[in-house]
Amino acid sequence: MPDGKYKVINVGLFDGSIVQFDKLFTIQSGKIMVGGKQVDHMNLNLQEGVRE
């Protein structure tokens, strides 16, 4: 992905349900930044989202 600010809005699950999120992250020089700190990968806890 190109450098910029992004937001995870929702995730579709294999059972057809959707979990809503509002998780902001940035790609900076090819690195993922969450809350201003570099992370190796995005970690989405499905229990933190709202299941539809």
**Contact residues for 12 (Cβ-Cβ < 8 A; gap 6+):** 18
Q: Cα separation of 33 and 24, whole Å?
A: 9
How much is the pTM? 0.78
Does residue 43 have a pLDDT over 90? no
Compute the radius of gyration of the chain from its Cα atoms: 12
Does residue 52 have a pLDDT over 90? no
Nearest alpha-carbon partner for 23 in 10, 13, 40? 10
Q: Cα separation of 28 and 14, whole Å?
A: 31
Amino acid in the structure at residue 44: L
